[in-house]
Amino acid sequence: MRFQRLAVFSGARRDKVGCPGSQPSSIENAPRHLTLVEDYILKNAEKPISMKDLEGVAKVSARSIHHAFQRFRGYSPKAWLQAVRLDRAHQSLLAAEPSERVMTIATNCGFAHLGRFSAAYKKRFGELPSQTLGRK
């Protein structure tokens, strides 16, 4: 299944982020700790986020967070974080001037490893980040 290509910024709705194999249950049925984690990720995606951070926000265990994501969203918290970051990087690359660097945009979107970012980006969008940047 292809990823849904939608911009995800701080005002975005949680149900509009595309993730692999995502067939989310109703947003209204999701437990409160799941929506707290999703909101935290949307607001802090460019920062390093650990499972300890998510546990602190949700006030539940890592296992409960994983279980809620799998049950109500069909993917892991890590997959969703990556989808948020990839959507932001994609939108930033589309809006960037050709003189900007992919590395800078990727880092600003929360990616620490450029090679992994490029591979995930190509899998998601069907082209390398440099090709998206060069399209303008």
Residue 27 pLDDT level (bands cut at 50, 70, 90): low
Residue 52 pLDDT level (bands cut at 50, 70, 90): very high
Please provide the average confidence, as pLDDT, over all residues in the chain. Answer: 84
Residue spans of the domains in the chain: they are 14-81, 86-134
pLDDT per residue over 95-134, tens digit each? Answer: 999 899 999 999 999 999 999 999 999 999 999 999 999 7
Going by CATH, does the domain composed of 86-134 fall within 1.10.10.60? yes
Least confident of 13-17, 68-72, 116-120: 13-17
Return d(Cα 87, Cα 9) in angstroms, integer: 9
Instruction: Give Rg (Cα) of the chain.
Output: 15
What's the pTM? 0.80
Classify 14-81 by CATH class.
Answer: mainly alpha
pLDDT of residue 28: 59
Domain 86-134 in the same topology as domain 14-81 = yes
- Per-residue CA distances from 54 to 19, 29, 58, 61, 98 (Å): 19, 20, 6, 9, 36
